[in-house]
Amino acid sequence: MRWLLLCYGLCFSLLKASGHTVELNDMFGQIQSPGYPDSYPSDSEVTWNITVPEGFRIKLYFMHFNLESSYLCEYDYVKVETEDQVLATFCGKETTDTEQTPGQEVVLSPGSFMSVTFRSDFSNEERFTGFDAHYMAVDVDECKEREDEELSCDHYCHNYIGGYYCSCRFGYILHTDNRTCRVECSDNLFTQRTGLITSPDYPNPYPKSSECFYTIELEEGFMVSLQFEDLFDIEDHPEVPCPYDFIKIKAGSNVFGPFCGEKAPELISTQSHSVQILFHSDNSGENRGWRLSYRAAGNECPGLRPPVHGKIEPLQTTYSFKDQVLVSCDTGYKVLKDNVMMDTFQIECLKDGTWSNKIPTCQKSEIDLESELQAEQVTDE
Domain positions in the chain are 17-139, 143-174, 185-298, 302-369
For β-strands 77-81 and 113-120, DSSP reports them as antiparallel
Tell which residue, 117, 92, 111, 114, has the closest CA to residue 103. 92
Structural domain 17-139, CATH architecture: Sandwich (2.60)
Lowest mean pLDDT among 142-151, 295-304, 313-322: 142-151
Q: How far is the C-alpha of 121 from the C-alpha of 44, rounded, in Å?
A: 7
* Average pLDDT score over the chain: 88
**pLDDT over 50 at 13, yes or no:** no
**pLDDT over 90 at 17, yes or no:** no
Task: Tell me the average pLDDT across 106-130.
Answer: 91
Tell which residue, 144, 85, 142, has the closest CA to residue 115. 85
Task: Supply the pLDDT for residue 285.
Answer: 86
Q: How far is the C-alpha of 274 from the C-alpha of 270, rounded, in Å?
A: 9
Q: pLDDT-based confidence at 140, cuts 50/70/90?
A: confident
Instruction: Give 224 or 368, the one with higher predicted confidence.
Output: 224
Instruction: Give 379 or 319, the one with higher predicted confidence.
Output: 319
Q: How far is CA 34 from CA 56, 74, 79, 132, in A?
A: 28, 19, 15, 10
Q: How far is the C-alpha of 91 from the C-alpha of 315, rounded, in Å?
A: 101
The class of domain 185-298 in CATH terms is: mainly beta
Highest-confidence segment of 97-101, 276-280, 294-298: 276-280
Whole-prediction pTM: 0.60
Task: Supply the pLDDT for residue 189.
Answer: 96
Instruction: Give 151 or 32, the one with higher predicted confidence.
Output: 32
Check for a shared fold between 17-139 and 185-298: yes
Task: Supply the pLDDT for residue 150.
Answer: 62
Task: Tell me the average pLDDT across 257-277.
Answer: 95
Q: 117-126 pLDDT, tens per residue?
A: 999 998 877 8
The percentage of the chain sitting over the pLDDT mark of 90, rounded to a whole number, equals 65
Under CATH, which number does the domain 302-369 receive? 2.10.70.10
**pLDDT over 50 at 2, yes or no:** no
Task: Tell me the average pLDDT across 281-296.
Answer: 93
